[in-house]
Amino acid sequence: MRYSHHLISPWLILLFILSCGGSDSGARENLREARNAFEKGNYNLAKLKIDSIKILYPKAFDEIDAGFKLMQEIRMTENRRNIIYCDSMLRVNYIALSKLLNDFDYVRDSRYQEFGEYYPKTYPLHSSLERNGLRSGVQERGGLFIESVLAGNAIQHNRIRVTAADGSYAESGRVTADGFNYRFSTLNRNYEIVRFTGNDENGVAAYIHAYRDQPLTLHFIGNRTVNTALNDAAKKGISLSFELSTLLLDIEQLKFEKERSEVLIRYLESRANSLQQNKR
């Protein structure tokens, strides 16, 4: 059975018109929902709706262009909000930093150091060689370090372990690099001092901070192992160093996030100005 060309064509034309209308309607609906989500502060949903317009309705050019402009507005708003948040948190953190720094001495040799280091007053450097144990400090940008000091025992230690009565422990990495693992002698004694920082520190300070109110044992690990009780002054100093390091690193991260948002805002503004000039 044959169908007349004149009977089929109107139906095809109507179907084409309806499908085009549905496409435009769907794109407009997604754009409307994106704007509503943006006004309510739901930026993730707004961006999702904008992206769906490009994917589902690639020929809805007016809606795609409007969605692009809305996306720029969303990004601008997000970054301005992030700057406000960073400024707020920085104010809080700087107040806490001012208070915490009262527990530290700042040391910097201008001949060799661009940035200084903070040492807890509760466990001063000048007395740290008088006993076997751990001392700590914080670099000006927030990097934490622990130094193990072993006197009178030549075991060439390059690792430490700290254990608690419940059987838990934290253990450093192995340090072999010159400048971080060094030995010297005086007229009376031999000394071994190893600095643990970054990955080599391996969470030892965080562990001591968590167990600071409990008895802890320090193990110097080399060609044999020497054990000693970790005294309260060392535990307090390391706990303070851990808190200061965490605070300084948070401040550095907030400053980075704020600067990144400021850069992105300048980029978005320059891009918007460029588009306006091209339209003239």
Strands of the chain (E only): list them.
Answer: 104-107, 117-120, 133-139, 144-151, 159-164, 169-171, 181-185, 190-197, 216-221, 225-229
Q: What is the pLDDT of residue 90?
A: 98
Both tokens of 198, joined, read 């970054």
184 burial level (CB within 10 Å; 0-12, 13-18, 19+): exposed
Number of domains in the chain: 2
Neighbouring residues of 124: CB distance < 8 A, sequence distance ≥ 6: 105
Average pLDDT of the residues in 183-209: 92
Determine, yes or no, domain membership for 264: no
Query: Residues 116, 17: one domain?
Result: no
Q: Are 204 and 146 in contact (CB under 8 A)?
A: yes
Determine, yes or no, domain membership for 159: yes
- Provide, for the chain, the percentages of residues in helix, strand and coil under a 3-state DSSP scheme, each rounded to the nearest 5: 55, 20, 25
Query: Residues 197, 237: one domain?
Result: yes
Which residues constitute the domain of residue 25?
5-97
Counting residues of the chain whose pLDDT is more than 70, the rounded percentage is: 89
Query: Residues 137, 227: one domain?
Result: yes
Q: What is the pLDDT of residue 109?
A: 85
Q: What is the pLDDT of residue 254?
A: 98
Higher pLDDT, 152 or 256: 256
Query: Residues 135, 79: one domain?
Result: no
Query: Residues 113, 158: one domain?
Result: yes
Average pLDDT of the residues in 40-50: 95
pTM of the full predicted structure? 0.82
- The DSSP symbol for 161 reads E
Query: Residues 82, 21: one domain?
Result: yes
Determine, yes or no, domain membership for 275: no
23 — pLDDT class (breaks 50, 70, 90): low
Query: Residues 45, 184: one domain?
Result: no
Instruction: Report the chain's mean pLDDT, rounded to a whole number.
Output: 89
Query: Residues 183, 85: one domain?
Result: no
Query: Residues 145, 226: one domain?
Result: yes
Determine, yes or no, domain membership for 226: yes
Q: What is the pLDDT of residue 273?
A: 77
21 burial level (CB within 10 Å; 0-12, 13-18, 19+): exposed
List, for residues 64-78, the tens digit of each pLDDT value.
Answer: 999 999 999 999 999
Instruction: Report the distance separating Cα 193 and Cα 170, nearest Å.
Output: 19
Query: Residues 71, 197: one domain?
Result: no
Average pLDDT of the residues in 27-31: 93
Determine, yes or no, domain membership for 219: yes
Query: Residues 21, 123: one domain?
Result: no
Query: Residues 237, 121: one domain?
Result: yes
Q: What is the pLDDT of residue 7?
A: 46
Determine, yes or no, domain membership for 277: no
Determine, yes or no, domain membership for 262: no
